[in-house]
C-alpha cells in the first residue's frame, strides 16, 4: 500500500478498482545491526544514532519497501538520521550488513530471523507494539522503550471491483480453509508471520487504517518516487 501512496500517477485506483477479500498474513520488520555496532538495546541504539547523525548507513530492499519505510518512520519518531542505501531486494540488503557495507536494516522477519538465529546479526526490536510470539527473544516497541511505534507489512487477496458478493464470500471461505491448514499455517508462523484472515469487511478496515498511517509517514517525510 505504501508504494501506491508514493506514486502520484498510476494507471489504476487501488480503492476504486479493487475489492478486498481477506488478509492472509502479516509480518513485522526487525531492527537488526551488525555485531560491531556498539548498541545492545534500542535505547542505546537511539542514543548512538542521535550522537552521530548520518553516520549509520541503513540498508533497504528498495524504494517503498518495508525496510525503507520503517527506517523513515523510525527516523521521524526518534530523530535518528540515517544515510539510506537502496539495494535490489532484501537479500542483497542483508548481505551488505554481513560484509560491513552498511550497519543497520529494518529487515522483514522472513529475512532477519535466520541471520539472528545464526548469530550473524543482532536484533534490537520488533516493529510491533507488543512483539510477536512468532519472533521470540526480541522485544516489541513498548517493551524496548519506544511506545506506539509500529511498522508492518501484509499480504492479502483482492478481486476486481464489481465482483459479485457470492464470489467474494466463496474465495474468502476457501482462503480461510487453506491458510488455516496446519502445514500452511505452520510454515508462515515459522517465518515470523501471523495469519489473521477474517471477513472482507475486516480486511477493508485494515487497508483503510494502513493507508492513513503510511500516508502520514510519507507526507511528513516528503517521500516521493520519481515518475
What span, in angstroms and rounded, lies between the C-alpha atoms of 76 and 158?
Answer: 31
Q: What is the DSSP letter of 103?
A: S
Q: Which structural domain, as residue segments, surrounds residue 64?
A: 31-126
Burial class (CB in 10 A: 0-12, 13-18, 19+), 183: exposed
- In a domain, residue 215? The reply is no
Residue 84, domain CATH: 3.40.190.10
**DSSP string spanning 171-183?**
HHHHHHHHHHSHH
Other Cβ atoms within 10 Å of 101 Cβ, number: 15
- In a domain, residue 92? The reply is yes
- In a domain, residue 186? The reply is no
- In a domain, residue 4? The reply is no
What's the structural domain count of the chain? Answer: 1
- In a domain, residue 226? The reply is no
Q: Does the pLDDT of residue 129 top 70, yes or no? A: yes
User: What pTM does this model have?
Assistant: 0.83
pLDDT for res 227: 46
Alpha carbon of residue 188 to chain centroid: 15
Per-residue pLDDT, averaged over 168-184, amounts to 96
Q: What is the DSSP letter of 54?
A: T
- In a domain, residue 192? The reply is no
Per-residue pLDDT, averaged over 173-186, amounts to 96
Amino acid at each position: 500500500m505504501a508504494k501506491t501512496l508514493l506514486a502520484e500517477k498510476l494507471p489504476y485506483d487501488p480503492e476504486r478498482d479493487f475489492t478486498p477479500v481477506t488478509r492472509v498474513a502479516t509480518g513485522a520488520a526487525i531492527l537488526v545491526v551488525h555485531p560491531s555496532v556498539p548498541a545492545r538495546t534500542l535505547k542505546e541504539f537511539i542514543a548512538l544514532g542521535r550522537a552521530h547523525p548520518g553516520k549509520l548507513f541503513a540498508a533497504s530492499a528498495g524504494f517503498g519497501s518495508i525496510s525503507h519505510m520503517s527506517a523513515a518512520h523510525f527516523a521521524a519518531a526518534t530523530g535518528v538520521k540515517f544515510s539510506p542505501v537502496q539495494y535490489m531486494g532484501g537479500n542483497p540488503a542483508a548481505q551488505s550488513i554481513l560484509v560491513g557495507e552498511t550497519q543497520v536494516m529494518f529487515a522483514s522477519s522472513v529475512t532477519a530471523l535466520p541471520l539472528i538465529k545464526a548469530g550473524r546479526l543482532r536484533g534490537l526490536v520488533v516493529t510491533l507494539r507488543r512483539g510477536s510470539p512468532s519472533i521470540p527473544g526480541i522485544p516489541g516497541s513498548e517493551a524496548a522503550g519506544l511506545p506506539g511505534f509500529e511498522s508492518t507489512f501484509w499480504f492479502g487477496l483482492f478481486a476486481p471491483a464489481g465482483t459479485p458478493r457470492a464470489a467474494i464470500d466463496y474465495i474468502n471461505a476457501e482462503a480461510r480453509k487453506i491458510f488455516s491448514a496446519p502445514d500452511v499455517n505452520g510454515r508462515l508462523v515459522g517465518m515470523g508471520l501471523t495469519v489473521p484472515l477474517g471477513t472482507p469487511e475486516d480486511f477493508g478496515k485494515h487497508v483503510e487504517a494502513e493507508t492513513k498511517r503510511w500516508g502520514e509517514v510519507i507526507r511528513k517525510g516528503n517521500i516521493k518516487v520519481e515518475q
